[in-house]
Amino acid sequence: MNTIDWLGFIGVFQILLAYILNLIGKIKNTDLTFILLNLIGAAMACLASIFMEYIPFIILEGVWTFASLISLLKYKKKQ
């Protein structure tokens, strides 16, 4: 695996980790940990997709990153 593969792999792993932790009740979808795992993971996966020039996943991960950023801003506003 090359650097781009690792970037995408780690990003997707973070997104899946957030999802699994939420499913088993370890974190809530409103927790900062959940939001950051999604934000950073999606950004990394999006960047890897940009390097691979794979448009469908650029769109998917770009929107996921944007949605996570909105969640982070809402979280900060509540604090």
Phi-psi group of 31: left, alpha or beta (phi > 0 → left; psi -120 to 50 → alpha; rest → beta): beta
What mean pLDDT comes out for the span 1-15? 97
pTM for the model: 0.94
Q: Quick one: how many helices (H) and strands (E) in the chain? A: 3, 0
What mean pLDDT comes out for the span 63-79? 97
* Residue type, position 66, single letter: F
| DSSP-derived secondary structure for 16-70 | HHHHHHHHTTSS-TTSHHHHHHHHHHHHHHHHHHHHHT-HHHHHHHHHHHHHHHH
Q: Within 13 Å of residue 30, how many CA atoms lie on the same side as its CB?
A: 5
Residue 66 pLDDT class (50, 70, 90 cuts): very high
Q: Where are the chain's structural domains?
A: 3-78
The whole-chain average pLDDT of the chain stands at: 97
Predicted pLDDT at 69: 98
Q: What is the pLDDT of residues 35-58, one digit of tens each?
A: 999 999 999 999 999 999 999 999
